[in-house]
Structure 1
Amino acid sequence: MTKVGVWWDVVRISGQLGLAALQLLRQRLECPIGPVAVDPGGSDAPRLYFFVPPGTADHWDAFGTTALGPDFFVVVPDAACVQPPGPHWAVPPDAGRVLTCPRALREAVTAAMQLP
């Protein structure tokens, strides 16, 4: 477990909405994607955790998502764990990679909600 809100906040998006938002972000070459962890378990599986700049949770309001800031903890997979079973990275952390842009993530979530 790692405390959220120090180095980054997290936006949790469950199920098909999270998968669709990730796919849309991957199609936007101008916006790099930061680390994205996947928790494949639970009733609303999978749950994707998008790592965003600290403070994002204070202003986050995208429908169908949950922003986690200070006072929350998340399970962070080992950096080499990129496949199931268990928690793993859909987009692994990279020392040179930035965090996901909140504006781009919000746009991707909004667009994903419009998909059939």
Structure 2
Amino acid sequence: MPAGVNAETAIVRWLASSTRDPKSAHRDWEDGRPAILALGVLFDAVKAPSRLVHAAVDSSERSAVAVVLGQLGGPVIWAPSTWYAILVPAGTAADWDSPHAAAMGHGTYLTVPRLDRVEPPGIHWAVPPAHARTLCSPVAVAQLLDLGHQSQGLSR
């Protein structure tokens, strides 16, 4: 089996293990649907408005946004025209202090697309996971959101 297939399998298993019923997540992905995964176990998510991310990047062009989001260090999901879900370490939501986006943790859930969903239409990976357990830096996420806020000419 090629190395990429093993890595992908490890990522899928890791993502699915965030829920009480990993088989359900696998079934959803196999049927082409996104899975609903629990946050606060393996990872939290910062749900950032698309307009704020695009202001920080100074572009709404997918490839330009993906390059900048890739510098955050981990996976990012995009629901076009509405929000980005930036995956950060579990526990981040408890200490999150950026006023520009909500951090979601324990007791919340996130819609997560199949690994091969990397373009529209619909919810997809703006930055797919490269490895299991590799997540975005909360500090870098907060800095990106601050930049987007400042780029819109708004004060903190």
TM-score, length-scaled by structure 1:
0.83
Q: Which has the higher contact order (CA 8 A, sep 6+)?
A: 1
Q: Which has the higher helix share?
A: 2
Residue 111 of structure 1: how far off its partner (Å)? 1.3
Helix, strand or coil at the partner of 1:75: strand
Distance 1:15 1:108 in 2: 12
Distance 1:48 1:70 in 2: 19
Give the total of aligned pairs.
110
CA RMSD of aligned residues (A): 2.4
* Equivalent of residue 9 in structure 1, options 44, 49, 53: 44
Residue 105 of structure 1: how far off its partner (Å)? 0.8
The answer to whether the 8 A contact 1:4-1:69 is kept is yes
Distance 1:16 1:49 in 2: 13
Distance 1:19 1:97, change over 3 A: farther
Q: Which amino acid in the other structure matches residue 129 of structure 2?
A: P
- Is 1:37 paired with 2:80? no
Residue 16 of structure 1: how far off its partner (Å)? 1.1
The answer to whether the 8 A contact 2:72-2:140 is kept is no
TM-score, length-scaled by structure 2:
0.63
Q: Calculate percent identity across the aligned residue pairs.
A: 34
Larger radius of gyration, structure 1 or 2?
A: 2
User: 2:22 — aligned with what?
Assistant: none
Q: Which amino acid in the other structure matches residue 37 of structure 1?
A: I
The answer to whether the 8 A contact 1:19-1:48 is kept is no
- Is 1:51 paired with 2:51? no
